[in-house]
């Protein structure tokens, strides 16, 4: 059904160069990096960029989807980890790192979870579904407070990630996550 005919060679070339430069630009300047600059560095007209990626979000989504899918996969693996709470913590920590790759990304992903029409929603949502299982497992094992929802946990992670990004040194997110996490142990 979704079999698209292959791109023309030049189109594919441009597409890939654009992704490369976008990765560089977002990593360096955050998600607000100039699209015109990306096009320029890719040696391509701005119109070409918009042809391949009609919005900034579409560009980001393409860059991030693989990463998000990997997180979902990782969650699936961790479902068999012997210590449910530790597994959850590990997963969230990894996820926090992932959403910290570009400055300003947390805002986007947090918003994406509330906007079903967003391009990012789908990949985020899939990931969240598996994450929820990790949460439930930790609760059932009696290691996590029963009154915390997966949604809240994810939000707290995003919050920690955000705060970590507004801290001078490195590892701020991990410290905050650990802090919050300790308090969520079942007593």
Partner DNA sequence: CCAGTAAGCTGAGGCTGCCTCCGGTTAATA
Partner DNA sequence: TATTAACCGGAGGCAGCCTCAGCTTACTGG
Instruction: Summarize as ranges the residues that interact with DNA (CB under 7 A).
Output: 7-11, 13-14, 32, 34-37, 43-48, 50-52, 54-56
User: 168 CB contacts (<8 Å, ≥6 apart)?
Assistant: none
Stretch that binds a copy of itself, among 8-16, 122-130, 132-140, 149-157 (CB under 8 A): 149-157
Among 19, 126, 150, 159, binds a copy of itself (CB under 8 A): 159
Among 114, 116, 170, 171, binds a copy of itself (CB under 8 A): 114
3-state helix/strand/coil string of 109-137: HHHHCCCCCCHHHHHHHHHHHHHHHHHHH
Identify whether the C-beta of residue 137 lies closer than 8 Å to the C-beta of residue 76: no
- Smallest gap from residue 81 Cβ to a copy of itself (A): 22
Distance from C-alpha of 162 to C-alpha of 100, rounded to nearest angstrom: 8
Q: Indicate whether 183 belongs to the interface with a copy of itself (CB under 8 A).
A: yes
Among positions 37-96, residues that touch a copy of itself (CB under 8 A) are none
């Amino acid at each position: 059904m979704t079999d698209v005919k292959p791109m023309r060679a030049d189109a594919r070339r441009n597409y890939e160069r654009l992704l490369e430069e976008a990765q560089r630009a977002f990593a360096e300047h955050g998600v607000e990096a100039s699209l015109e600059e990306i096009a320029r560095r890719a040696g391509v007209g701005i119109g070409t960029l918009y042809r391949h990626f009609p919005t900034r979000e579409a560009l980001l989504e393409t860059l991030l989807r693989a990463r998000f899918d990997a997180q979902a996969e990782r969650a699936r693996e961790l479902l068999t980890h012997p210590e449910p709470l530790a597994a959850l913590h590990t997963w969230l920590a990894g996820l926090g790192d992932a959403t910290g790759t570009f400055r300003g990304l947390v805002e986007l992903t947090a918003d994406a979870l509330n906007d079903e029409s967003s391009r990012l929603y789908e990949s985020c949502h899939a990931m969240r579904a598996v994450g929820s299982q990790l949460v439930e497992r930790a609760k059932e094992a009696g290691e996590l407070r029963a009154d915390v929802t997966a949604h809240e946990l994810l939000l707290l992670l995003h919050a920690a990630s955000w705060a970590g990004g507004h801290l001078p040194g490195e590892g701020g997110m991990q410290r905050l996550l650990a802090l919050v996490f300790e308090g969520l142990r079942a007593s």
